[in-house]
Amino acid sequence: MFFVDTLELEGLGNRSYLAGGARSAVVVDPPRDIDRVLATAARRGVRISHVVETHVHNDYVSGGLELARVTGAVYLVPAGADVAFARVPVADGDTVAVDDGVELRAVATPGHTPHHTSYVLLEGGVPVVAFTGGSLLIGTVGRPDLVEPRLTGELARAQHASAHRLAAELPDETSVLPTHGFGSFCSSAQAEGDASTIGREKAVNAALTEDVDSFVARLLAGLDDIPAYYTHMGPANARGPAPVDLTPPAVAGAEEIAARLTAGEWVVDLRNRVAFAEGHVAGSFNFEADGKLATYLAWMIPWGKPVTLLADSPEQLADAQRELVRVGIDRPAGAATGTPEDWVTEGARPVSFPRSTFAGLAGRRTDEVVVLDVRRHSERAAGYVAGSVHIPVHELHGRLGEVPDGTVWVHCAGGMRAAIAASLLHAAGRDVVAVDDGFDAAVAAGLTVTGRADEAEQGEQGGRSHRA
């Protein structure tokens, strides 16, 4: 009997897989911190015989090269991928034996990238699982605009053709196990559920229910912002990522934290947004460890700038460090655990700012405050508070001077991004109130929300994936 174990990368919204038989297994699209993969294989009691990549990833640093080195596994990478390291190039139709009666067959599925390859797991010659990477996702497909703008239209059409190829060649009961789609910005939309089959996708996936022209038009119209750090992920993966170092960073005392802030470095407080608002080191930024830390910190920090991490506990710090290496932020310049009182210099005190809700905002005169919406463009298009200023959170650090004078009430769709934005504004000396509330509460609070079809639609928009 075959097995498949799923390794969730919740912060990045991705999945990796360990699959095989009684004695050996293959790893599909492994994360950079390979110790989790090794531990999963050890619990199964299997040898990792093969490591495969569906494509050169744009949203995280792969652990495939290091995993293959450590385990002695055969490293399969699509033949069309331009990489600088030794690997076994895999082409359409290639088949490898994983275990007795368990094989893996490569299926060329260009679209997410030109060289994208899916892998079909066969048991006794019968397809049972399709590892579809960034091709056919749950209810959607991977976005085609991450490689080269001039190729986007061509790749969108290729996505449609690749989805139809999988649907035509595989039985309806074949499980569909993608890498992207669970919060990753590599997905053109977000997964509708946790599991799927080829048969289900035939019924619900636009790539399989719409003609190619309609599908491509819809796909291209719905593409959202691309995280800035994606620029660095593909080249890092093509070069061959270095092994990670997850040992604890050097401890930074209060004087060092102050010196790093004075030098213009980033000091990032990982605590939850309620605790941060109640008290924090002046000038520090709040990226919650339990939020999409890697995505938003890597998106917003100037690439290569030193970062010092402040955490509740060693465990919180270690988890954050693990998340950050997955996107190429390898070694914090320093770190400290404890409370804000431990992190400020002698004679200084932590600073704070207020939090509120949309009901609290509704109680203020609109000419008294600045309402700042830090959601993405696609979210705002579905409805926004009348009179609000719009700067997406990932653009805010470079556009602080555009925020009008006055007390800034900053909101997003759920509170996390508003907390990031509030911390940036507060560090810049602005009076700020963080609206820690779901956007669907704006209408209920009596605020005028424009650009929406109706209240029900607005509530749906407020609750969709990426809400934060």
**pLDDT tens digits, one per residue of 3-53:** 999 999 888 889 999 999 999 999 999 999 999 999 999 999 999 999 999
**Which helix (H) or strand (E) segment is 51 a member of?**
strand 47-52
Distance CA 406, CA 388 (A): 13
Nearest to 244 by CA among 54, 17, 26, 37: 37
C-alpha distances (whole Å) from 216 to each of 143, 155, 187, 251, 392 are 11, 9, 15, 51, 26
Whether the pTM exceeds 0.85: the reply is: yes
- Residues of the chain with pLDDT below 70 are 190-192, 366, 452-468
Tokens 């290639």 correspond to what residue? Answer: 94
Distance CA 150, CA 110 (A): 15
Residue 455 corresponds to which tokens in the numbers above? 């209240």
pLDDT for res 398 = 95
> In terms of DSSP H, where are the helices of 364-454?
377-381, 393-396, 416-427, 441-444
Pairing type for strands 95-99 and 102-108 reads antiparallel
Distance CA 261, CA 227 (A): 25
pLDDT for res 10 = 83
Tokens 């093969």 correspond to what residue? Answer: 50
Distance CA 81, CA 123 (A): 28
C-alpha distances (whole Å) from 357 to each of 21, 68, 69, 384 are 52, 50, 52, 15
Residues 6 or more apart from 284 whose CB is under 8 A from it? 261, 267, 268, 269, 310, 423, 427
Distance CA 17, CA 35 (A): 14
Distance CA 237, CA 235 (A): 5
pLDDT for res 191 = 65
437-451 pLDDT, tens digit each: 999 999 999 999 998
What are the backbone angles phi and psi of residue 138, rounded to the nearest 5°?
-80, 105
The distance of Cα 285 from the centroid of its chain, to the nearest Å, equals 20
pLDDT for res 194 = 80
pLDDT for res 192 = 66
